Amino acid sequence: MTQTEWRGKRALVTGGNRGIGLEVVRQLGELGMEVYLGTRDLAAGESAAVSLGLPGIAPLRIDVAGPASVDAAREALAPEGVDVLVNNSGIYPRGDAAPEEVEEAWQVNALGGWRVTQAFLPPMRERGWGRIVNVSTELAKHADQQRGGGIYPVTKVVVNAMTRALAEDLGDTGILVNACSPGWCRSDMGGEGAPRSAAQGAASIVWGVTMPDDGSSGGFFQDGEPLPW
């Protein structure tokens, strides 16, 4: 699609109020999309939306770990829903995570994306067109050889598997589903010593959103290149 053709498409980016998520919101907004900036803290989301200085950006309260919150977000955007969904929300417990931290990571990183996708998929099916990008990590490549890293890469391996399964289920519906890694980026999660900027990481994700209608589905990519997993 050209830039003009993206204008007016509706997108939801979860975890969109800071870091890579905020940069994804920015880049989609610059393409002319109407973007819902998903955030657990509505005040933080409002501030983040204003900071971009772009038209068509609106905060939307959504806690991907809470079924009631996801349902409320779906109802707020009904009946049209969105054309584009970026499942970006994620947390990275450090070191030996406590059981409650492991549970939270599972609910947010793995089940959260599944929950949101199930909520916003029906209108895409009705239109016969859509894009779903699940934000993964390069730590999930070569999953059979991966060692260490705690619960975070485990949840992202699950994200990749769900991506492939959903792509197979959707078949020729016109909805493309892919997992994209932003790489190791400077952000609250990645730290200041990371080699890539949040904008670079976001561009890797936006590539997955803007691929043509005959593009890949069920793949795992970084910077437009396939990653093994």
> 152 an active-site residue?
yes
Give the integer Cα–Cα distance in Å for 19 and 107.
Answer: 21
DSSP code, position 12: E
Instruction: Please state, in angstroms and rounded to a whole number, the distance separating the CA atoms of residues 194 and 198.
Output: 10
CB 227 within 8 A of CB 220: yes
CA-closest candidate to residue 16, choices 6, 44, 201: 44
Of 127, 24, 39, 49, residue with least CA distance to 76 = 39
**Residue 134, amino acid:** N
225-226/220-222 β-pairing: antiparallel
Instruction: Find the DSSP H helices in the chain.
Output: 3-6, 19-30, 42-52, 67-76, 99-105, 112-127, 151-170, 198-209
Catalytic, out of 120, 152, 221, 229: 152
Catalytic residues: 152
